[in-house]
Amino acid sequence: MMSKGFVHRENRVAWAVLAHNLWVIARLPQAEECRKQAFSLTM
C-alpha cells in the first residue's frame, strides 16, 4: 500500500470507515434488545 500513493490510501480509508459504520448500524438493533433485557432484569 505504501507505493500506491495518497489517492489510493485515501480510498482505502474511506472504504474502511464505511465498512465500520455499516457494521455499527447493523449492530444497533441487537444492542437495543440487549439493553432492554438488562433493564428488565434490574426491575
Tens-place pLDDT, residues 1-43 = 456 788 999 999 999 999 999 999 999 888 788 887 787 777 6
The pLDDT score that the predictor gives to residue 2 is 56
The domain in which residue 18 lies consists of 2-42
The pLDDT score that the predictor gives to residue 41 is 74
Give the end-to-end CA distance of the chain in Å, rounded to a whole number.
Answer: 53
- Domain count within the chain: 1
